[in-house]
Amino acid sequence: MAHIHLAWEIGGGLGHAGRLKTLARVLLARGHRVSLSLRDLGYTQRVLAELPVPRFQAPVWLHRTEGMPPNHASLAEILLAAGYLEVPGLAGLTAGWRALFDMLRPDLVVADYAPTALLAARTLHIPTASVGIGFYSPPADRALPCLRDWEGVAPQRLVRAEAHLLNVVNAVLEMHGAPELLHAARLLLGDAPLLCTWPEFDHYGRTAAEGEWIGPVTMPLGGAVPAWPPGTGPRVFAYLKHDHPAHGAVLQALVDEGCRVLCYLPEVAGGRPAPLASPAIAYSSQPVAIEAALHGAALCVCHAGDATVVQSLLAGVPVLLLPMHLEQFLLARRVESWGGGINGARVKPDGDWRAAVRSLLDDGRFRAAAAAFAHRRGERTLLERAERVVDLFERQVAAARSGSPPSAATCDRP
């Protein structure tokens, strides 16, 4: 059996922890040893408390990087602001990861948005793999794509950022006698990149033929049994946050269109007054069991978090997406492109939200697109997809132990 270390370094939300928990359970069931390093040990406690594996604090960048453009135009600029701007800072983070790996002695390091874990493993000649969504799993062996193609970002800006990133990374690799990287994408991908998503959700708009797509492996996180308001109007599940400027206007539009709304708004659950008091809205005091809430729902409203969007569309429920940052906007734009929902970023905060809600409820094309997606992607279960990922981990470990290069990961085509 092998020791597999699962690492999460950059990014927020519980999706990373949910994905690693799914994989850890399959690994443990097969008799492997598992350890985790996490960006946030406290926030993930509710999700990981019963998982019987050691958890460590991931070495992460704690400082604000000054002088960076206000809007990141590529993953290179995101990484430069996350500890990759100067050699001493990155060398320190790498030293932390190296010390962790020296202590744990893993056979394979698996990164979920953990580039410095992959970098440190490279210096120690430990095999690596990466799992996750398309955003931080960019196309391999080419320049990092522009993340803001609608803004007319100067190509020279992208080139400069990636060149600077590679210079810093390769300087750290040289300190340890490790081979340099020719493309920054490989820093995020490791030896075996495993796309745990589908092209319908790919932030870069890649087609089915442009990658090997395993599909999502993030487990539902559970929650309270749905308690709907009384009445006969269409059911709408809403997972909203107070920071979105239109959250109140969207709830008002849902009520005005005759919907019955079950809403989880963390700030209201924490004691903040509800943005709209209505007998047609039930505010949940705790996270809701989303799968149960989506059963029989006509619509889901959320901020385009990957896990919620995937679950909604696998249930055949179209989505009204209210992205709050770049990664969510790119996902919302992708889903809208094939008819699974509406990207609310195109609507002004004080715009006509009723029209958007009405379209999603009355235009059968949205529900038909969601149903077609559910039929297309619902054949394999989450467990079957996770088993496939672990199969590939085991193949990689076996190849490393035999001294032969691992064969290319072959995943099921969509």
**pLDDT on residue 141:** 87
**pLDDT on residue 406:** 53
Laid out side by side, the sheet with 128-132 consists of 55-57, 33-38, 3-8, 108-112, 128-132, 192-195
Q: At what angle do helices 115-123 and 155-175 cross, to 10 degrees?
A: 40
**8 Å CB contact between 49 and 30:** no
What domains sit in the chain, N to C, each tagged with a CATH number? 3-195+381-402 (3.40.50.2000), 235-377 (3.40.50.2000)
**pLDDT on residue 68:** 84
**pLDDT on residue 115:** 98
Q: How far is CA 317 from CA 252, 271, 365, 367, in A?
A: 21, 30, 12, 6
**pLDDT on residue 222:** 76
**pLDDT on residue 410:** 41
**8 Å CB contact between 90 and 172:** yes
User: Which residues of the chain are under the pLDDT cut of 70?
Assistant: 405-414
**pLDDT on residue 405:** 60
**pLDDT on residue 268:** 95
3-state secondary structure 199-235: HHHCCCCCCHHHCCECCCCCCCCCCECCCCCCCCCCE
Task: Classify burial at 282, counting beta carbons within 10 Å of its beta carbon; exposed 0-12, middle 13-18, buried 19 or more.
Answer: middle
What is the C-alpha radius of gyration for the chain, rounded to an integer number of angstroms?
22
Q: Supply 219's token pair.
A: 């487990």
Q: How far is CA 37 from CA 101, 114, 115, 185, 313, in A?
A: 10, 10, 13, 22, 31
**8 Å CB contact between 89 and 64:** no
